[in-house]
Amino acid sequence: MNDVKGKQGQKWFYTDTVKDHFFNPRNILKTQEEVDKYKADGVGIVGSPACGDMMRIWIKMDKKHDRIKECKFQTFGCASAIASTSVLTVMVTENGGMKLDDALKLKPHDITNRLEGLPARKIHCSVLGDKALRAAINDYFRKSGQIDRIVEDGAKVIDKILKITDRDIEEAVLEGAHTFEQLQKKTKIGIQDKSCIPEAKELLETFKKKYFG
């Protein structure tokens, strides 16, 4: 197995797998006409083209076996965003399709492992991919009346004045904030609500360890 951690530490280089999925993306809807014609069981959208990467994922279900039969995508973003979403669609549809319960358990490191690593500052792209997939699955649950199966991403408010959550801290770390000063510059956490600083620092270290070892 390749040393994913080592590859993540390379700031400027993409693996051959990343380049393959960027130059030859699988399961991508290339035109608005293709989007309009595609009849999905669930659709998930995360991000915003106004401020960075955006991903949209469509899923079709094998309802009898509770598996993802097809998974299509569009991504507005960089090579890492395109490659991450492309490989994710392959992961959830290969070998007869992934069971929904297993798909909901997919984590960013599962995607980066399949890509044989991403540059450290691009790992957040794989986070958007698994969030978009969860959103599509939840959309399917709502449309099919399986409300009890919906899995919401819980976010705990850490800075109660600026309403900054643990998810905001996680995303800041993935985008390169590895010191509290960098975190504060990016999110403004703790500037007004000083009481949250110890918990914010603890979460910073937790997410650094989780994603960067």
Cα–Cα distance for residue pair 9/3, rounded to 1 Å: 10
Which tokens is 157 given? Answer: 């408010």
SS3 77: coil
Domain with CATH 1.10.10.1100 in the chain: 157-212
| pLDDT tens-digit series, residues 28-83 | 999 989 999 999 999 988 765 554 667 899 999 999 999 999 999 998 878 888 89
Is the separation of the CB atoms in 102 and 94 below 8 Å?
Answer: no
pTM of model > 0.95: no
Q: Out of 51, 71, 78, 196, which one is annotated catalytic?
A: 51
Highest mean pLDDT among 2-16, 40-54, 102-116, 162-176: 102-116
| Residue 153 confidence (pLDDT) | 67
Q: Which of 98-112, 122-136, 156-170, 180-194 has the lowest mean pLDDT?
A: 122-136
Determine the pLDDT at residue 48: 57
What CATH class does 4-149 carry? Answer: alpha beta
Q: Give CA–CA dist 70/96, Å, rounded.
A: 10
Residue 92: its H or E element: helix 79-93
pLDDT of residue 137: 94
Q: Pinpoint the residues of the chain covered by CATH 3.90.1010.10.
A: 4-149
Gap between the Cα atoms of 161 and 175, Å rounded: 23
Q: Active-site residue 196, yes or no? A: no
Write out pLDDT tens, residues 149-200.
887 666 788 988 877 888 788 878 877 889 999 999 988 899 999 999 999 9
Q: Is the model's pLDDT at 12 over the cut of 80?
A: no
How large is the angle between the packed helices 197-212 and 180-187, nearest 10 degrees? 110
Measured in degrees and rounded to the nearest 5, phi and psi for residue 183 equal: -60, -45
pLDDT at 2 over 70: no
Query: Under DSSP, is residue 165 helix (H, G, I), strand (E, B) or coil?
Result: strand
CB 46 within 8 A of CB 128: yes
Q: Which CATH class is domain 157-212?
A: mainly alpha
Query: 73 near 27, Cβ under 8 Å?
Result: yes
Active site residue 125: yes
Q: Which residues contact 157 (CB under 8 A, 6 or more apart)?
A: 163, 164, 165
